[in-house]
Amino acid sequence: MAWDEWEQLKAQAAERPSTHTRLNQLAPDGGGGGGGTGDLVVYQDDLGAVGHEAHLLYDDVRSQADIAGAGAGSGGAGSTAQAASALKSHGFQTGGALETTVEIWTSQVKSVLQACAHISDHLDFTKKLHAEDDAKIGTVLRGSDGSTVSVSQLNEYFK
Q: Look at residue 57 and tell me if it is in a domain.
A: yes
Q: What is the pTM of this model?
A: 0.51
Q: Look at residue 87 and tell me if it is in a domain.
A: yes
Whole domain around residue 73: which residue ranges? 43-121
Q: Look at residue 37 and tell me if it is in a domain.
A: no
Q: Look at residue 147 and tell me if it is in a domain.
A: no
Question: What are the residues facing 148 on neighbouring strands?
Answer: 142
Q: Is residue 102 within 8 Å of residue 81, measured between CB atoms?
A: yes
Q: Tens of pLDDT along 97-125?
A: 999 998 898 899 999 999 988 888 887 77
Per-residue pLDDT band for 11 (boundaries 50, 70, 90) equals: confident
In the chain, count of helices (H) and strands (E)? 5, 0
Q: Which helix (H) or strand (E) segment is 9 a member of?
A: helix 3-15
Average pLDDT, rounded, for the chain:
76
Structural domain count of the chain: 1
Q: Look at residue 56 and tell me if it is in a domain.
A: yes
Q: Tens of pLDDT along 50-86?
A: 888 888 999 998 888 877 666 676 666 778 888 898 9
Q: Which of 34-43, 107-116, 140-149 has the lowest mean pLDDT?
A: 34-43
Tell me the C-alpha distance between 78 and 71, whole Å.
5
Q: Look at residue 91 and tell me if it is in a domain.
A: yes
Tell me the C-alpha distance between 95 and 80, whole Å.
10
Which has more pLDDT, 126 or 57? 57
Which of 91, 69, 88, 94 lies closest to 80, judged by CA? 69
